Structure 1
Amino acid sequence: MKRIGVLTSGGDAPGMNAAIRAVVRKGIYHDLEVYGIYNGYAGLIEGNITKLELGSVGDIIHRGGTMLRTARCEEFKTPEGQAKGIEQLKKFGIEGLVVIGGDGSFQGALRLTEQGFPTIGLPGTIDNDIPGTDFTIGFDTALNTIIEAIDKIRDTATSHDRTYVIEVMGRDAGDLALWAGLADGAESILIPEETHEMEQIIERLNHGLERGKKHSIIIVAEGVCSGLEIGKQIQEKTKLDTRVTVLGHIQRGGSPSAFDRVLASRLGARAVELLLEGKAGRTVGVQNSKLVDHDIQDILTSKHTLDLNMYRLSQELSI
């Protein structure tokens, strides 16, 4: 193998640039030519491909987003779109590909592998919803962004004796909400993995009032429902002064944390090693601090699980 490519697909995540840098420099270290594919699978179909040098990935390890940019591409889900992509890879003489993204990106990587084109997937998503790895690239940074926001909101909640409902991202996974809620001592955490009754939320709020508590923080994962709806119900049922904050896409931005930079660097380098070992259709991850790789088909058919012991702990500590 002499030439490999790298692309980022789906939603951006802090640390993607560190992963790109690792793929490029690890590849060049092993005398490979490395090509960057811009705008994800859409750019692959269009042939938006450029050879990357050592300097091409200089000064990016600390930057959020992705220098290769990203896009969602419906056309690549079709056999015709995949054929166009493979044609472009052959045109540039690219013999292996590293795809950085979430489960949708991995679906594209699987299609390429099935058609005989070696592809390795790197889990890059703030949602932390990819099986086979304890953490995904971007999760830690997004988590710290949320925590910083909650800390600031708590200041004003304390000053005005208010109840704040904060909606965070995560799609159908509650990792961001759970970790942020536990880290910030939220009174209630609503996650998709657990059922929730409004009566229980109200009961916890009333219990806090009875012991003299003047303000409360409630974290809602977007996969549960709208934070605005939760805030409306609380206001109606308790008459408490309630405000709602939807953090939105601020959670995707910002300089990646040290953890995400190191994680992305380790995973990116390992992806190149797998290609050089003749492996294909694998995803790279970290479990118990050790690098692992799994069959991409197994990852796509597995279900992401959340540590519900942490959820129970959050309830015990917020009495």
Structure 2
Amino acid sequence: MKKIGVLTSGGDSPGMNAAVRAVVRKAIYHDVEVYGIYNGYQGLIDGNIKKMELGSVGDIIQRGGTILYSARCEEFKTEEGQNKGIEQLNKFGIEGLIVIGGDGSFRGAEKLTKKGYPCIGVPGTIDNDIPGTDFTIGFDTALNTVIEAIDKIRDTATSHERTYVIEVMGRNAGDLALWSGLADGAESILIPEQKDDFDEVIDRLKKGHERGKKHSIIVLAEGVGSGFDYGKRIKEATNLETRVTILGHIQRGGSPTGNDRVLASRLGAKAVDLLLEGKAGRMVGIQNNKLVDHDIIEILQEPHTIDEEMYRLSKELSI
């Protein structure tokens, strides 16, 4: 294999640039040409493809976002759109493609794989919702962003003796909420994987108030519902002064942490190795700090799960 392509797709995540850098430099080290595909699958269809050099990825390892840009592309979900993408890859002589992104991005790679085109998926999403890997690129950075925000909110919650509902991202996964809630000592953590009894949340708030607790933090994963709706219900049930903060897209930005930079570098390089070994239709990941790879079609059939022990611990420590 002498020519490979790389694209980033879906929601951006801190560390994507580090992964792109690793793909480009690892490939060039092995005398393989690399082509950057801009604006995700839309750019693939449009032929927005440029050859990348060592200097193309200089000074980007510390930058958030993605220099290749990203875009949603409904057309690529169709067979016609997929065929257009393959035509562009063949036009440039690109023999294999590395896709950096989340679940939706992997669905596109899965389609290409089923059509016989060699693809490798690299998990890049703050949601940490990809099966087959303990962590995805960007999760650690987003987690630290959320923790910092909750720390600051707790200061004002303490000063004004308020209850705060903090809605965090994660799509249909609760990892960001669970990890940040545990790290920040939240009184309740509401995640899609565990249907908390609302009465239990209220009971915990009331008991805390009765023993003199002046403020409370409730972390809500967006997959559970609206933070504003939960805030209103809590106010009506407890008569406690309640405020809602939706952290939003601040969670996606920022310079990646050391963990995300190292993870992205390792996964990006591993993806190149797989293509050079003649492997295709794979997803790279990390499990127990060891690099692994899985069949991308099979892994997308697996459900996302959370650490049940961590969830139980959060309950025990929030009494």
Do they fold alike, i.e. is TM over 0.5? yes
Aligned to 1:104: 104
Q: Distance in 2 between matches of 1:315 and 1:196?
A: 11
Counterpart of 1:239, as a letter, is: N
User: 105-114 vs 227-236, which deviates more?
Assistant: 105-114
SS at match of 1:167: strand
Aligned to 1:307: 307
Aligned to 2:45: 45
Q: Distance in 1 between matches of 2:15 and 2:50?
A: 21
Q: Deviations over 1:274-302 (max 9, x none)?
A: 00000000000000000000000111100
Counterpart of 1:43, as a letter, is: G
Counterpart of 2:183, as a letter, is: A
Q: Deviations over 1:41-78 (max 9, x none)?
A: 00000000000000000010000000000011111111
Sequence identity of aligned pairs in percent? Answer: 78
Aligned to 1:237: 237
Counterpart of 2:252, as a letter, is: R
1:181 aligns with 2:152: no
Which segments of 5 or more consecutive residues in structure 2 lack a partner in the other structure?
Answer: none
Where do residues 235-314 of structure 1 align in structure 2 (5 Å cutoff)?
Answer: 235-314=235-314
Aligned to 1:219: 219
Cα offset, 1:209, TM superposition: 1.3
Q: Distance in 2 between matches of 1:63 and 1:299?
A: 30
SS at match of 2:6: strand
Cα offset, 1:9, TM superposition: 0.6
Q: Distance in 2 between matches of 1:186 and 1:2?
A: 52
Which segments of 5 or more consecutive residues in structure 1 lack a partner in the other structure?
Answer: none
The ranges of structure 1 where at least 4 consecutive aligned residues each deviate by more than 4 angstroms after the TM superposition are none
SS at match of 1:180: helix
SS at match of 1:94: coil
Q: Deviations over 1:192-234 (max 9, x none)?
A: 0111222111110111112211000000000001011110011
Q: Distance in 1 between matches of 2:211 and 2:22?
A: 53
SS at match of 1:204: helix
SS at match of 2:170: coil
Where do residues 153-168 of structure 1 align in structure 2 (5 Å cutoff)?
Answer: 153-168=153-168
SS at match of 2:61: coil
1:10 aligns with 2:19: no
Counterpart of 1:222, as a letter, is: E
Counterpart of 2:13, as a letter, is: A
Counterpart of 2:259, as a letter, is: F
1:76 aligns with 2:91: no
Q: Distance in 2 between matches of 1:303 and 1:297?
A: 13
Q: Distance in 2 between matches of 1:259 and 1:144?
A: 11
Q: Distance in 2 between matches of 1:247 and 1:114?
A: 38
Cα offset, 1:104, TM superposition: 1.1
SS at match of 1:7: strand
Q: Distance in 2 between matches of 1:158 and 1:171?
A: 29
Cα offset, 1:113, TM superposition: 1.6
Q: Distance in 1 between matches of 2:80 and 2:205?
A: 55
Q: Distance in 1 between matches of 2:277 and 2:180?
A: 39
Counterpart of 1:145, as a letter, is: T
Q: Distance in 1 between matches of 2:167 and 2:211?
A: 26
1:21 aligns with 2:21: yes
Q: Distance in 2 between matches of 1:184 and 1:295?
A: 36
Counterpart of 2:220, as a letter, is: V
SS at match of 1:150: helix
TM-score, normalization: structure 1?
A: 0.99
Where do residues 142-153 of structure 1 align in structure 2 (5 Å cutoff)?
Answer: 142-153=142-153
Q: Distance in 2 between matches of 1:272 and 1:102?
A: 18
Cα offset, 1:103, TM superposition: 1.3
Q: Deviations over 1:96-124 (max 9, x none)?
A: 11000111111111111222211000001
Q: Distance in 2 between matches of 1:13 and 1:279?
A: 26
Where do residues 132-143 of structure 1 align in structure 2 (5 Å cutoff)?
Answer: 132-143=132-143
Q: Distance in 2 between matches of 1:49 and 1:78?
A: 21
Q: Distance in 2 between matches of 1:179 and 1:88?
A: 41
1:58 aligns with 2:63: no
1:117 aligns with 2:111: no
Q: Distance in 1 between matches of 2:37 and 2:186?
A: 42
SS at match of 1:68: coil
TM-score, normalization: structure 2?
A: 0.99
Tell me how large the CA RMSD over aligned residues is: 0.6
Q: Distance in 2 between matches of 1:202 and 1:115?
A: 52
Q: Distance in 2 between matches of 1:165 and 1:112?
A: 42
